[in-house]
Amino acid sequence: MKIDHIVQSQQFTVPMIWNLFERTKEMEKIVRRGGTKDYERFIMASLFYAPSTRTRFSFESAMYRLGGKVISTEQARIFSSEIQGERLEDTIRIIGNYCDLIVLRHHEEGGAIRASSVSRVPIINAGDGSGGQHPTQALLDLYTIYNELGTLEGLKVALIGALDKGRTARSLAYLLSKFERTKLYFIAPPEVQIKEDILEHLEEKNVHYELLDSADKIISEVDVVYQTRIDAERLIDKKIDLGIYNITKDFLKKMKKNSIIMHPLPRSVEISRDVDSDPRAAYFRQAENGLFVRMALITMVLDFE
Ligand code: CP
């Protein structure tokens, strides 16, 4: 199953997702064996115009574990020709001559789609703009949910944070909408609630959703709490108590025993450190899965006989 570019999560069908998960299981075994040399003739360019810890390191590690090579620039906004006014499209055309795959984090929404429209090599969107998408994060999130709970059907998922610009939550909502009987709860201060484009998509797909400004009503019934940040400086209403959105030991007491807490990370204050030791805290396992899922995604865009 060859994929040309990975730019948004809507492009993944359910059969593609199962194919990805099968490959991901294989990648876990390969990593345990110390890696493979199968992709040694391939070069991946990692082109990050915005900061990253997990996405960049996991993609680069994934390529090395597959036997491939990595070329990159740190802080592409400064250490690439953008500083001299070069357009993204030109940069992509040039870098495509030197590699077989480009992993791109761009500071503008739509950057990955623009790049894919001119690229001769596959583009993988490693997060675009704020309010764009982060499809590979959402795929590793979905894999984590499946691994932890054993199903993707009939799940109740609470997504918490500044959801209007939350590219991970946006991409995950698209993926979850593909599975039967999903119920989504978007929990955010009203001024940073999830945007209309996602809600229209859920309505088209007949997916149950609710917009809430607190988790109180659903905390005891959800299977997944997907926590993200809320930056106080983004809120116009300074009287909103952001503490009510934080996951604490008290929040845990109200959650189901067989539920999980996820977070794309990095976190600030929105999950207290004393939650980390609870078996339901899945966010570090989620970050580890990023390596395996991204290895599998690289094999899907570099598919060869
Ligand atoms: N989750 C995520 O995208 O993390 P980074 O910004 O560290 O890549």
Q: Does residue 2 belong to any structural domain of this protein? A: no
Give CA–CA dist 84/61, Å, rounded. 30
Q: Please report, to the nearest 10 degrees, the dihedral formed by the alpha carbons of residues 221, 222, 223, 227 taken in order.
A: -150
Q: Does residue 17 belong to any structural domain of this protein? A: yes
| Same structural domain, 87 and 222 | no
- Provide the pLDDT for residue 77: 80
- Provide the pLDDT for residue 94: 96
Give 168 Cα–ligand 1 centroid separation in angstroms: 9
Residue 58 CA: nearest ligand 1 atom is 8
Contact between residue 122 and residue 263 where contact means Cβ atoms under 8 Å apart: no
CA-wise closest residue to 287 among 260, 259, 264, 261: 264
Give 236 Cα–ligand 1 centroid separation in angstroms: 26
Q: Does residue 248 belong to any structural domain of this protein? A: yes
| Same structural domain, 182 and 197 | yes
Q: Does residue 4 belong to any structural domain of this protein? A: no
Could you report the per-residue pLDDT of 133-169, keeping only the tens digit for each?
999 999 999 999 999 999 999 999 999 999 999 999 9
| Same structural domain, 148 and 258 | yes
Check which CATH number belongs to the domain holding 123 and give it: 3.40.50.1370
Give CA–CA dist 149/60, Å, rounded. 29
Contact between residue 64 and residue 70 where contact means Cβ atoms under 8 Å apart: yes
| Same structural domain, 274 and 180 | yes
Residue 209 host element (H or E): strand 208-212
CA-wise closest residue to 244 among 143, 160, 171, 157: 160
| Same structural domain, 139 and 242 | yes
| Same structural domain, 118 and 62 | yes
Give CA–CA dist 291/288, Å, rounded. 6
| Same structural domain, 117 and 236 | no
pTM recorded for the entire structure: 0.96
Contact between residue 14 and residue 294 where contact means Cβ atoms under 8 Å apart: no
**Crossing angle for the helix pair 135-149 and 167-176, nearest 10 degrees?**
60
Q: Does residue 1 belong to any structural domain of this protein? A: no
Domain count, the chain: 2
In this prediction, the residues of the chain whose per-residue pLDDT falls under 70 are 305
The alpha carbon dihedral of 101, 142, 212, 250 has a sign of negative
| Same structural domain, 202 and 263 | yes
- Provide the pLDDT for residue 86: 87
Could you report the per-residue pLDDT of 82-103, keeping only the tens digit for each?
778 889 999 999 999 999 999 9
Q: Does residue 34 belong to any structural domain of this protein? A: yes
| Same structural domain, 180 and 117 | no
Q: Does residue 51 belong to any structural domain of this protein? A: yes
Residue at 166: amino acid letter: G
Give 51 Cα–ligand 1 centroid separation in angstroms: 8
- Rounded alpha-carbon distances, angstroms, from residue 3 to 13, 49, 126, 271: 12, 24, 16, 36
- Provide the pLDDT for residue 129: 93
Give CA–CA dist 75/49, Å, rounded. 5
Strand partners, 303: none
Residue 53 CA: nearest ligand 1 atom is 7
Give CA–CA dist 297/293, Å, rounded. 6
Q: Whose CA is nearest to atom 3 of ligand 1?
A: 55
| Same structural domain, 239 and 106 | no
- Provide the pLDDT for residue 305: 62
Residue 290 CA: nearest ligand 1 atom is 1
| Same structural domain, 155 and 255 | yes
Q: In the chain, which residue ranges form alpha helices assigned H by DSSP?
A: 14-32, 54-65, 76-79, 88-95, 111-118, 135-149, 167-176, 196-204, 249-254, 283-301
Give CA–CA dist 303/296, Å, rounded. 10
Give 39 Cα–ligand 1 centroid separation in angstroms: 25
- Provide the pLDDT for residue 238: 84
Q: Does residue 147 belong to any structural domain of this protein? A: yes
| Same structural domain, 126 and 220 | no
Residue 102 host element (H or E): strand 101-106
Instruction: Show the domain range for 164.
Output: 135-286
Contacts of residue 18, defined as CB under 8 A and 6 or more positions apart, other chains included, come to none
- Provide the pLDDT for residue 68: 98
CA-wise closest residue to 228 among 125, 131, 113: 131
